Amino acid sequence: MANFDFTRRLRTVSDKDLDKLKANFLDLAEQFDASTMGDHLLFPLEMTWFYGEPIWHELSEEKKLMLNRLTFCQNNYTTAVAEVCSNVLNFRASLDTIIDEDTDVALYMAREAVEETAHVQTFLTVVRKVLGYYGLTLEDLRASNQSIKLSRHYVNMHTVVGWLRGDLNFYYFTRYALNVNQKTVERCTINEPRMHPIVRQILRNHAIDEARHMQMSRGAGKVALDRMKNPIVRTVACLAYAQFASRVFLGRHKKDNRYTRESRTRLLELCGVPRERAQQAYLEWRDRVNQPEDCELVRAGRAYCLKCNHSYIDDLEIPDWLKRSMKRIVAGGYADVARPGGPTSVRPLEFEDLTRAA
C-alpha cells in the first residue's frame, strides 16, 4: 500500500538546503540589477507570447525585448500566486496530518511552505525590479493579469471538496499537472542562451527545489488515490485529473480561456500596442492563423508535458480502460502534438538532472 514514507528522504534533502535558502534565493534577488539587462532575455525567446506573429514583427527590437521580459514577469507572478495557493493547501494538509497521522510527514508538508515563501519573495523582488526598469509597477502587472483570479477558485474548490470529504486527497492527486507545466517552462528558461545570468541562477535553484516538490506530488498523488476506497470516487478523481491536465498548458492551447486571453491581450497593451490590435493579434495567435505549427522548442515542450502526464497515468493502479480515457481527455487539449495510440507525434524535450553547485 502506498504511504508517505518517501517524505523522510525528501525531508533529509530539504534539511540540507534549508540553511542556504537565503543565499540561493533572497540574496540573488537583491543582487539582481535591472540596469544590467542589456540584451539579455528573461524568458525563452521562442516561448515569448506572440513570438513570430505579425504583431511580433511590428514591434521594435526594444519592444520585443520588453515583451519577452514582461512575459517572464507575468509568468513568474502567476507562479508566485500558485505557490501561495499550494502553501494554503499544504498547511491545511499538514494540520490534518499533525493531528491524526505522522507528525514528521506533517513537518515535511509545512517545510514546502517555508521554501515556497522564499520563492515567492524572490520572484516578487525580481519582477518588481524589471517592471521598475520600464516605469511600470506591480499594480500595472496585476491589473493586466486576469488568470490569477483562477487561483482563488482553485483554492476555494479544493477547500470545499476537502471539507466535504474530510481530506485533501483530491488536491494531492491533481497537483502534479501544475508541477509539470511549471517545470517545462522553467527548464527552457534556464537553457535559453541569452538568459540574464543572475535570473538563470535563481531559476536553476528554484528548479532544484521544485524537482523535489514534484516528487512529493507524484508520491502523494499515489497515496491519495490509494486512500480513495470507493471506485466511483476514484474514477471521478481520475477523470477530473485528466480534465485539469488538459487545460494546463504552455504556448497556444485549444482550451485557452477568457482569463488567459485577457492577460495576454493586456500584456501587449503594456508594450504600447493599441487594444484593438492586441485583441486581433491574440485571436490570430490562438487560432494559429499565421503560424499553424509552433516552433520546435514549443512543440517539444508541449510534447514533454503530455509525456509526463502519460507516465503519471501509467503509474496509477487503475483499470486500463480508465487510463485510456484519461489519456484521451488530456490529448484533447494537446491535439497539435498528441498521437492516437502513442504519447506524442514529436520528440519531447529531455532534461538532465540539475544539482546544486558545490
Residues that bind Fe ion (CB under 5 A): 83, 116, 119, 210, 213
Pick between residue 213 and residue 247 the one whose CB is nearest to Fe ion.
213
What gap in Å lies between CA 174 and CA 244, rounded to an integer?
Answer: 8
Pick between residue 210 and residue 294 the one whose CB is nearest to Fe ion.
210
Count the alpha carbons within 13 Å of 76 in the hemisphere toward its beta carbon: 29
Q: How far is the CB of 189 from Fe ion (least distance, A)?
A: 14
Comparing CA positions, the residue from 2, 4, 73, 65 lying closest to residue 38 is 65
Strand segments (E) across the chain: 338-339, 342-344
C-alpha cell at 45: 525567446
Pick between residue 67 and residue 120 the one whose CB is nearest to Fe ion.
120
CB neighbour list of residue 126: distance below 8 Å, 6 or more residues apart: 29, 32, 76, 199, 202
Q: How far is the CB of 107 from Fe ion (least distance, A)?
A: 16
Q: How far is the CB of 22 from Fe ion (least distance, A)?
A: 15
Q: How far is the CB of 147 from Fe ion (least distance, A)?
A: 18
Q: How far is the CB of 80 from Fe ion (least distance, A)?
A: 8
CB neighbour list of residue 9: distance below 8 Å, 6 or more residues apart: none
Backbone angles phi, psi at 343, to 5 degrees: -70, -55
Q: How far is the CB of 175 from Fe ion (least distance, A)?
A: 9
What gap in Å lies between CA 147 and CA 136, rounded to an integer?
Answer: 19
DSSP structure class, residue 94 = H
Pick between residue 174 and residue 279 the one whose CB is nearest to Fe ion.
174
Q: How far is the CB of 70 from Fe ion (least distance, A)?
A: 21
Q: How far is the CB of 121 from Fe ion (least distance, A)?
A: 11
Spatial contact of 31 and 258, defined as CB atoms under 8 Å apart: no
- Give the CA dihedral 247, 251, 252, 256, nearest 10 degrees: 30
Pick between residue 192 and residue 210 the one whose CB is nearest to Fe ion.
210
Pick between residue 213 and residue 327 the one whose CB is nearest to Fe ion.
213
Pick between residue 53 and residue 210 the one whose CB is nearest to Fe ion.
210
Comparing CA positions, the residue from 47, 73, 197 lying closest to residue 133 is 73
Q: How far is the CB of 209 from Fe ion (least distance, A)?
A: 6
Amino acid at 19: D
Pick between residue 118 and residue 245 the one whose CB is nearest to Fe ion.
118
Count the alpha carbons within 13 Å of 20 in the hemisphere toward its beta carbon: 14
Spatial contact of 2 and 223, defined as CB atoms under 8 Å apart: yes
Pick between residue 167 and residue 209 the one whose CB is nearest to Fe ion.
209
- The conformational region for residue 272 under phi > 0 = left, psi -120 to 50 = alpha, else beta, is left
